[in-house]
């Protein structure tokens, strides 16, 4: 069946546009800078034109990104095979790859039929649930023969993993651990080939300890899921056209059991209802460094083809900001490259027990030639040194010595100075939020051991004559933004609306069959995730706005049909949005015309984060904004910025890091890039503690307020205060017994009152449905302004709550006023629409894209 629309996006020509070309170049650079060189025993870089053998599941079926809402429907994705051949490499193993291709497609068809049979078909209510819980497993290839290797002394082996929303990974063979086939293939290659290089094509960590320690494996690169230009980006890195500069944003353990929550995460202990955050603030390197656990690869680690020297030039501080100046020199002889300066702080342990060190700031150099230097400054606010005192509801910088360290990973650091705080400073006084409802035993390192370590570092600093800077931190100033013209206009209209109009506005556009179209509920933009109500458009001139999934780019259908006479759209349902239309059946309709919406598949969030490059993240944001304008999408449901609490989380690929400061500044940079263009904005998500996917709608994240504030909310706080995204999306889970969508503490106290968030807060999709757990009227009362994608039951629930007095009328009005304020901001976007709607030729669209 078709779907009636009021507007449509897309291009009538299937020809590759200038916008596609420009954005693919950005995707290639982002993927290249996000590649982390984990090991290199001198085999890299390779000479272009070299004869090599290529094997592994991802050789020709390279995984560009995760599944589910994080997918992108691009025109073409460049595999590793294609990237290497385009770079001039001769491949000896193409017969092996062709054989694997046949095995791959058979496995895909079997997987598809299994999902269709179990769910009852595309239109069934359970289709998305069944699809997302049946993660496709890459099949094994045949055995590697002498013929596959003939003429090659170098072999590349690609280890690939698929993950997606609604299902966590497993500590099993073929997932977190290598499969028996992968082990056997690598054994053969190490026996037969002079040089073996391993490429890790996975959204998150896998156990590679035996590969790291195998002397016959001379190089290993983690490319993650690198987007549509991944094959070209890898070829750039392998040939030295690009010197690897990516750094890990997570700690990679020697053994899965080394993670503090290894046994209790998600399904590991069989309890999917109560997730005990027993590790408290000790997540990632905070745990490994505080408890003396040696990692395989530390947080911030990444090799290069050249070497760098980092020298601290100065440290200065006022009451609000600390600044560390450094000179970075490329001390190599051959290769140009980029380096990342990371600044950490070792805090005193006199009062609250803290982590051994924490990241406070970072900066990436430009590309430096051999012998070239660059002076850079890394600045960070006083709050980066603060800890949260739960007893007093205070962010405080305790008295004592704060030892600053700089380097290029959390385990390769040099002390450069001491900040001396003479008396405790209160940075911010807040209200207690999200209280524990049951006892929780948190991990804590031995305080005396932590104190001894700090004293030793203080002694070394004194012996080395490091500078001591007196630092008197001041209270953080939250500058409340003045009331804007948008807010005044929204307030005036809100007062005029009827009860029915008010209720309709806090519920997404309800369309027929929407409950079975999860993730493709848009009416205006084919394949969009959804849109706000258009009930006020005709009477009051306030249109609904469209939203598209992320965070690796826009998720729309890449091709659909439109009948200009009947205003019907065909081929825009969830089956066309998922997996590039893999589940779809073609719809032929008389009089319909083809339309195209080819979007750019950027690298996944983790790979983008591994660039540590804030200007590049802004550039990625601007590239996405161009497509938002072209396809009439106002809100991008990205970036995702949940913490990598455990490597088995199925959705880690969408998120940035185990570290909240890094996550916050990366999300802020993307937001600045998107919102540098008029009328479009980001939606940071999932707010908060969405750290597991199994039973994601029923899982209760049980944690202390200190862990919540210092680890899981801190990144959101930084993004809001730094970039003011247009929207925040709450998560599916509960926090200490309360669904986040119903949490007044999160939506109102933290986001609005403490951080001065000015935008819209929306639910994740189907949070208020039967299995969602959230109550519609409680969303409104909490300050969660918009229920997505919306259903008739939401309207009835809110109306009854108003009648009973459980929901106050002014609470409903407050949500609508905030929503209208942001909708009026997106009307700047409307001013661009006449240009697009009047364009008939491809060159006109290209000129517009260059203009915006």
Contact 17, 57 (CB under 8 A): no
* Pairwise CA distance, residues 806 & 335, whole Å: 67
Cβ atoms within 10 Å of 357's Cβ, excluding its own: 21
Residues 541, 544, 550, 553: is their CA dihedral positive or negative? negative
Helical pair 714-723 and 660-675, crossing angle rounded to 10 deg: 30
* Pairwise CA distance, residues 121 & 143, whole Å: 36
User: Which residues contact residue 488 at a Cβ distance below 8 angstroms, ignoring those fewer than 6 apart?
Assistant: none
Contact 775, 804 (CB under 8 A): no
Q: What are φ and ψ of residue 268, in 5° steps? A: -60, -35
Q: Name 701's bridge partners.
A: 275, 735
Contact 39, 217 (CB under 8 A): yes
Given the DSSP bridges, would you call strands 217-222 and 559-563 parallel, antiparallel or unpaired?
unpaired
Residue of 289, 659, 764, 785 marked active site: 764
Q: What are φ and ψ of residue 718, in 5° steps? A: -60, -45
Q: What are φ and ψ of residue 682, in 5° steps? A: -100, 165
Given the DSSP bridges, would you call strands 727-730 and 760-762 parallel, antiparallel or unpaired?
parallel
Instruction: Copy the structure tokens of residue 397.
Output: 């910088």
* Pairwise CA distance, residues 694 & 710, whole Å: 25
Q: What are φ and ψ of residue 315, in 5° steps? A: -135, 130
CA torsion angle 765 677 847 608 (round to 10):
-60
Cβ atoms within 10 Å of 474's Cβ, excluding its own: 14
Q: Name 363's bridge partners.
A: 341
Q: What are φ and ψ of residue 673, in 5° steps? A: -65, -50
Concatenating the DSSP letter of every residue in 83-107 gives: HHHHTT-EES-HHHHHHHHHHHHHH
CA distance between the termini of the chain: 36
Helical pair 809-830 and 485-496, crossing angle rounded to 10 deg: 130
Q: What is the DSSP letter of 257?
A: G
The reply to whether 764 belongs to the active site is yes
* Pairwise CA distance, residues 549 & 528, whole Å: 7
Contacts 24+ apart (CB under 8 A), 211-215: 211/178, 211/186, 212/38, 212/39, 212/296, 212/297, 214/186, 214/190, 215/41
Angle formed at CA 594 by CA 589 and CA 600, multiple of 5 degrees: 135
User: Which residues contact residue 541 at a Cβ distance below 8 angstroms, ignoring those fewer than 6 apart?
Assistant: none
- Give which of 636, 772, 661, 670 is closest to 712, Cα–Cα: 661
CA torsion angle 577 580 582 583 (round to 10):
0
Contact 157, 167 (CB under 8 A): no
Given the DSSP bridges, would you call strands 308-317 and 90-91 parallel, antiparallel or unpaired?
unpaired
Is 165 exposed, middle or buried, given 0-12, 13-18 or 19+ CB atoms closer than 10 A? Answer: buried
* Pairwise CA distance, residues 139 & 264, whole Å: 30
Catalytic residues: 764
């Amino acid at each position: 069946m078709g779907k009636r629309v009021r507007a449509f996006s897309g291009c009538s020509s299937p020809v590759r546009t200038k916008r596609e070309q420009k954005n693919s170049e950005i995707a290639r650079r982002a993927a290249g800078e996000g590649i982390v060189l984990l090991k290199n025993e001198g085999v890299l870089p390779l000479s272009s034109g070299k004869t090599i053998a290529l094997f592994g599941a991802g050789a020709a079926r390279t995984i560009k990104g995760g599944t589910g809402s994080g997918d992108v429907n691009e025109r073409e994705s460049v595999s590793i095979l294609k990237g290497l051949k385009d770079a001039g490499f001769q491949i000896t193993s193409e017969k092996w790859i062709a054989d694997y291709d046949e095995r791959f497609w058979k496995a895909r068809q079997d997987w598809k039929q299994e999902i269709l049979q179990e769910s009852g078909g595309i239109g069934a209510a359970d289709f998305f649930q069944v699809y997302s819980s049946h993660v496709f497993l890459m099949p094994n290839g045949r055995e590697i023969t002498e013929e596959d290797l003939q003429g090659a002394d170098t072999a590349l082996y690609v280890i690939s993993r698929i993950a997606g929303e609604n299902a966590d990974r497993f500590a099993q063979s073929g997932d977190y651990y290598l499969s028996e086939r992968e082990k056997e293939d690598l054994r053969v290659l190490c026996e037969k080939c002079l040089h073996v290089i391993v490429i890790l094509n996975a959204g998150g960590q896998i156990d590679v300890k035996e590969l790291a320690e195998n002397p016959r494996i001379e190089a290993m690169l983690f490319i993650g899921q690198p987007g549509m230009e991944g094959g070209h980006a890898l070829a750039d890195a392998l040939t030295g056209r690009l010197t690897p500069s990516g750094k890990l944003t997570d700690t990679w353990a020697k053994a899965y059991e080394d993670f503090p929550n290894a046994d209790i995460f998600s399904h590991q202990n069989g309890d999917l209802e109560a997730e005990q955050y027993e590790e408290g603030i000790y997540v990632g390197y905070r745990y490994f460094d505080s408890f003396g656990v040696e990692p395989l690869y530390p947080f911030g680690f990444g090799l290069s083809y050249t070497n760098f020297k980092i020298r601290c030039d100065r440290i200065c501080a006022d009451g609000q900001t600390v600044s560390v100046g450094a000179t970075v020199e490329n001390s190599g002889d051959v290769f140009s490259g980029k380096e990342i300066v990371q600044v950490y702080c070792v805090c005193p342990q006199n009062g609250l027990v803290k982590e051994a060190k924490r990241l406070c700031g970072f900066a990436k150099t430009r590309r430096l030639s051999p012998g070239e230097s660059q002076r850079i400054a890394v600045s960070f606010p006083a709050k980066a040194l603060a800890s949260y005192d739960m007893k007093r509801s205070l962010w405080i910088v305790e008295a004592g010595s704060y030892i600053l360290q700089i380097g290029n990973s959390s385990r390769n650091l040099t002390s450069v100075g001491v900040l001396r705080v003479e008396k405790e400073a209160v940075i911010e006084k807040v209200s207690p939020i999200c209280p524990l409802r049951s006892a929780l035993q948190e991990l804590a390192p031995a305080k005396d051991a932590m104190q001894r370590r700090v004293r030793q570092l203080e002694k070394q600093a004194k012996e080395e004559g490091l500078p001591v800077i007196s630092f008197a931190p001041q209270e953080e100033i939250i500058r409340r933004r003045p009331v804007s013209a948008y807010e005044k206009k929204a307030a005036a209209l809100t007062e005029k609306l009827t009860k029915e109009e008010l209720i309709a506005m806090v519920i997404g556009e309800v369309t027929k069959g929407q409950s079975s179209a999860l993730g493709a509920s848009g009416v205006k933009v084919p394949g969009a995730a959804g849109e706000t109500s258009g009930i006020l458009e005709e009477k009051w001139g306030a249109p609904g706005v469209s939203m598209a999934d992320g965070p690796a780019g826009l998720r729309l259908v890449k091709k659909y049909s439109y009948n200009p006479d009947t205003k019907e759209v065909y081929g825009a349902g969830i089956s066309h949005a998922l997996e590039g239309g893999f589940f779809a059946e073609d719809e032929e309709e008389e009089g319909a015309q083809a339309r195209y919406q080819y979007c750019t598949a950027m690298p996944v969030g983790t790979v983008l984060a591994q660039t540590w490059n804030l200007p590049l993240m802004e550039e990625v944001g601007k590239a996405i904004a161009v497509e938002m304008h072209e396809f009439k999408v106002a809100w991008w449901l990205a970036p995702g910025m949940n913490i990598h609490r455990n490597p088995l989380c199925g959705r880690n690929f969408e998120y940035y890091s185990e570290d909240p400061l890094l996550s916050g500044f990366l999300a802020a940079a993307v937001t600045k890039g998107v919102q540098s263009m008029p009328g479009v904005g980001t939606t940071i998500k999932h707010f908060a503690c969405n750290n597991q996917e199994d039973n994601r709608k029923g899982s209760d994240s049980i944690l202390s307020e200190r862990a919540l504030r210092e680890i899981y909310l801190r990144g959101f706080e930084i993004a809001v205060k730094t970039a003011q995204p247009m929207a925040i999306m709450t998560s599916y889970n509960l926090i200490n017994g309360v669904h986040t969508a119903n949490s007044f503490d999160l939506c109102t106290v933290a986001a609005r009152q403490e951080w001065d968030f000015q935008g819209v807060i929306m639910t994740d999709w189907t949070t208020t449905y039967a299995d969602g757990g959230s109550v519609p009227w409680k969303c409104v009362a909490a300050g969660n302004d918009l229920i997505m994608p919306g259903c008739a039951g939401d309207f009835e629930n809110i109306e009854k709550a108003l009648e009973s007095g459980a929901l106050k009328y002014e609470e409903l009005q407050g949500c609508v006023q905030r929503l209208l304020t942001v909708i009026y901001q997106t009307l700047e976007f409307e001013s661009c629409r006449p240009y697009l709607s009047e364009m008939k030729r491809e060159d006109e669209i290209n000129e517009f894209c260059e203009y915006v």
